[in-house]
Structure 1
Amino acid sequence: MNLYLLSALWVGGAAIGAAVLAYLIRRFWAHEERARNNEAAGQVFTIVAGLNAVLMAFVLIALFDAAKEADDASYREADGLVAAAWASDSLPAGTGEQVRALARAYATTVINDEWPRMSGGTAVPSTGWSQLDRLRQAVARAQVDDEWQVERKTEAAHQLWLVYEARQDRLDAAGSGVDAVVWFTLLLGSVLSIGLPLLFGGPSVRAHVIIVGTLTATIALLLYATYQMQNPFGGGADVDPGAFRAALERFG
């Protein structure tokens, strides 16, 4: 189902449910009793809703930053792979061709095998690590004769180390998500933030229903965004392997 259609269904359903509940409470609970709750419930609501909003904002900002870092890490990894292959072109005994072939195989593994698993939140196999180690060994075995080749070999090894670091960052981002304790706190805080305004009294039923529905829709939208952003390689963030496709084009 389309991401935005699903969002509209979740947000709209939550808002309608809360609005109906608000109407039923107004219908069957005497106005005078609810009006006496306004001051106490309002003070508690200010504290609870404020703390919940701060926590939700902190989590969303952290998730947006994580998605940006995951995208940057994929480009660092792919760019380092290309740089290592280019540096290896100056090495003797066909090392350049071997490194290019291994780098192409590594990028293909990332695109076809690792990315679908990261998008689905499942574990990534060790195939990529093995291919990266073979790349390292191919560069390490190269017999260099002059200063230029020594420099190129050092550069290729350095770039492969950057690939290693960026790969680790990418896999760490895929397995991060939102902790269960944080989810529990967000959900409980959201329920309390919606439940407390149901205790308020006022002269207009329509205004009360609209206020509760709007508040619920806003909180539901933020929770849905949090859920979609918790995996940067799937859902709303959906970081794609475009960096590795570009690397394959550079390898020819």
Structure 2
Amino acid sequence: MSNIVSGLIVVAFAALVGFLGLLVKVRFFPVKEEEEKEDVAGYVTMVVGVIYALILALALVAVWENKDSAEGHVAAESSSLHEVSQLGTTMLPTDRQRIQDAANAYAHQVVDTEWPEMRKGEEVGEAGWGLLTDLRTAVLSSDVATTARQDVLSDATNQLSILADARRGRLDDAGKRMPPVLWIGLVLGGVLTIGLTFAYGIEQRFTHIGMVMGMVALIGFMLILIYNLENPFNHGLGADPEPFTRLFGG
């Protein structure tokens, strides 16, 4: 089942919970007229709502920035790898083949092995670094008897440095997660915000129910969005290996 369908199911379930909770409150704990005019409850609800909105916004911005950082590192890594492969075409046939084979092996390691591990939140192994070392060795051991090939070697070495830095950045991004205490604040803050809406009584009960259901559904949607973006390589909303597959095949 896709993340989108699962998210919609959770949002609908959250709205239903809010609906049932409000029905229980209205049925068994009716609000008296004097309680409807209580200004303090309205002030507290407003303050709690604003604070919770700020927490949601900060969490969403944080996970979105991690996603953008991951996409930037993936683009830089794939671009540098492709540039090294292209520069290898100017070398002697034997050297060219070794460089391109090493570049393709690295790309397929990233797509076929590392990406599934990052999506599952697992630690990426050292095989990728070994393949990067093989690529560097293939480049540095090339025959550069001519000035032109020496210039190509210099450019390829610079690209290898960029590639290594981008790889480190990608692996760092894969380990970024929100602190558990922030998740506690998001969940408890949502429960408190929704709970405070039960302190009011509106003559049009269906209007009240609709307002509560809408708020619960919106908060549920935001929490699902943050959860899916927490892993910047999550399937669907996160960074994908398309730059590698586009440049080096599936």
Q: TM exceeds 0.5?
A: yes
Cα shift at 1:33:
7.0
Percentage of identical aligned residues = 29
Query: 1:86: which partner in 2?
Result: 86
Query: 1:60: which partner in 2?
Result: 60
Residue segments in structure 2 that go unaligned for 5+ positions in a row: none
Q: Does 2:23 correspond to 1:15?
A: no
Query: 1:228: which partner in 2?
Result: 228
Tell me, in whole angstroms, the C-alpha distance in 1 between the residues paired with 2:34 and 2:201. 5
Tell me, in whole angstroms, the C-alpha distance in 2 between the residues paired with 1:27 and 1:56. 32
After superposition, give the CA deviation of every residue in 1:98-138 in whole Å (9 maximum; x if it has no partner): 11111111111111111111111111111001110121222
Query: 1:44: which partner in 2?
Result: 44
Q: Is the 8 A contact 1:93 1:142 kept in 2?
A: no
Query: 1:97: which partner in 2?
Result: 97
Local SS of the residue matching 2:198: helix
Aligned length: 250
Which letter maps to 1:131? L
After superposition, give the CA deviation of every residue in 1:212-240 in whole Å (9 maximum; x if it has no partner): 11111110110011111111222441432
Tell me, in whole angstroms, the C-alpha distance in 2 between the residues paired with 1:159 and 1:33. 73
Cα shift at 1:144:
2.5
Provide the aligned C-alpha RMSD in A: 2.1
Q: Is the 8 A contact 1:225 1:236 kept in 2?
A: no
Q: Is the 8 A contact 2:66 2:176 kept in 1?
A: no
Cα shift at 1:163:
0.9
Q: Report the more deviating stretch, 95-104 or 240-249.
A: 240-249
Residue segments in structure 1 that go unaligned for 5+ positions in a row: none
Query: 1:32: which partner in 2?
Result: 32
Which letter maps to 1:8? L
TM-score by length of 2: 0.91
Query: 2:134: which partner in 1?
Result: 134
Local SS of the residue matching 2:32: helix
Q: Is the 8 A contact 1:34 1:199 kept in 2?
A: no
Q: Report the more deviating stretch, 57-66 or 126-135.
A: 57-66
Q: Is the 8 A contact 1:34 1:200 kept in 2?
A: no
Cα shift at 1:203:
2.2
Query: 2:202: which partner in 1?
Result: 202
**1:155-174 map, 5 Å:** 155-174=155-174
Query: 2:122: which partner in 1?
Result: 122
Tell me, in whole angstroms, the C-alpha distance in 2 between the residues paired with 1:235 and 1:44. 39
Query: 1:73: which partner in 2?
Result: 73
TM-score by length of 1: 0.91
Cα shift at 1:75:
2.0
Query: 1:247: which partner in 2?
Result: 247
After superposition, give the CA deviation of every residue in 1:76-113 in whole Å (9 maximum; x if it has no partner): 11110111122233345832221111111111111111
